Amino acid sequence: MVESQTPEIELVLGAPKSELATPALLLDLDKFESNLQKMASYTATHSMGLRPHAKSHKCAEIAKRQISAGALGICAATITEAEKLSAKGVTGILITSEMVGNDRIDRLARLTQRAPDTISVVDNPIHVQELAKAARRHDVVLNLMVDLDLGLRRTGVASVAEGMALAESVMKSRGLRLLGVNAYSSMSAHVTGWSERRTHSLNSMKKAVDLFLRMKNSGMPIEILSGSSTGTYNIDIEIPEMTELQAGSYVFMDVDYSIIGGERGPVYDDFQKALTVLATVVSKSHKGVATIDAGFKAFATDRPFGPDIKEGPAVKYHFGGDEHGILEILSPEGDSESAFVLGSKLEFVVPHCDPTVNLYDRILCTRDDKVEAVWTIERGYC
């Protein structure tokens, strides 16, 4: 289970949560495995491919479990993620960001030499030319998808017409193989309310289906229409042309997804909250307030809300700088509760899983309150 048995990791294995150094990133294995199985069964039942986004976890152990459970491979966001996960035996990697720049193009070509099923995306004719040059220089065939913008104006070609033109230029380029369309509707993923989200996503994806069908109908030998998120996995499944889902956060969950609303009510609870940060009460000098050792460097701050306490007394978390969080104690028992005694440990559901995981080098995997495994997070400077 554990990938490198350093003495430090051996010390942690088997340790109860109460003895762990904090802040620590924890994964509840029972909940994680339930999430893994639920998405695998759902997509299998609906004959839909699954290529989960690994930018959420950057973890080879998780990627391999996703593939063992039936996933086609995984998505990566950076060349470093793709290289590091590939080096640990992860296959079927689709890099969903444009690999622009000499450094990235060369690394993509070398990765594809080692892992010929690697796929990446393009949205620009200059990039197509540079990729074609690299393919010839490295004597490798680069697999590409046309990346389509669905409204955010972040990446992707702006229009279906531009997508067709780009697809044609890929088709004509020696060393490049066109596989399909990448279309991630990031603006749909967090629309509040399931039916509102359904309308938003199905509308957004029409453009992607249009491009995919035009490419197919013009005789291009394409096979893949890839996109979707944890927020829309059971919505985009309705699109007959869609061949695979990129949902990633479902293995962990976070506050961000819990508040978007589910199919049956205001709380999105299709998947369990498996990821938490364990923190320690390090200061208790004021009535109604306790301070923990987890701030900007322990939780991502890109959302307008902080973490939620996992269980126990009611508190409101306030960021208190790089290393601290200030808990406003809302519980009627208040200061008398043992949870707030100096040294007490508390667990928090993270505001947004992807950038929070990126703050840690490892995940401590727990079952029955003890550490069962330690998994490496493949962080990287770029």
The string of DSSP letters for 107-137 reads HHHHHHHH-TT-EEEE--HHHHHHHHHHHHH
Q: How far is the CB of 272 from its own copies (least distance, A)?
A: 23
Q: How far is the CB of 92 from its own copies (least distance, A)?
A: 20
- What residues are paired with 376 via a beta bridge? 362
Decide if 227 contacts 184 (C-beta within 8 A): yes
Site for its own copies (CB under 8 A): which residue of 43, 97, 188, 246?
97
Q: Does 169 bind its own copies (CB under 8 A)?
A: no
Site for its own copies (CB under 8 A): which residue of 2, 133, 355, 367?
355
Q: How far is the CB of 99 from its own copies (least distance, A)?
A: 8
Q: How far is the CB of 12 from its own copies (least distance, A)?
A: 11
Which of these segments, 138-146, 224-232, 256-264, 340-348, binds its own copies (CB under 8 A)? 340-348
Q: Does 116 bind its own copies (CB under 8 A)?
A: no
- Tell me whether strands 362-367 and 370-376 are parallel, antiparallel or unpaired: antiparallel
Site for its own copies (CB under 8 A): which residue of 136, 138, 214, 362?
362
Q: Does 214 bind its own copies (CB under 8 A)?
A: no
> What is d(CA 150, CA 284) in angstroms, rounded to the nearest whole number?
49
81: which 2 tokens?
């993620």
Identify the DSSP state of 141: P
58: which 2 tokens?
């950057």
Altogether, the residues listed in the chain come to a count of: 382
Decide if 95 contacts 76 (C-beta within 8 A): yes
Q: Does 331 bind its own copies (CB under 8 A)?
A: no
Q: Does 338 bind its own copies (CB under 8 A)?
A: no
Site for its own copies (CB under 8 A): which residue of 35, 234, 249, 280?
280
3-state secondary structure of 95: strand
Decide if 326 contacts 320 (C-beta within 8 A): yes
The number of residues that bind its own copies (CB under 8 A) is 68
Q: Does 269 bind its own copies (CB under 8 A)?
A: no
Decide if 224 contacts 243 (C-beta within 8 A): yes
Applying CB under 8 A, the residues found at the interface with its own copies are 19-25, 55, 77-78, 97-98, 100-104, 123-124, 126-127, 149, 152-158, 162, 186, 280-286, 289, 291, 293, 296-297, 300-302, 319-324, 326, 341-343, 352, 354-355, 358-362, 379-382
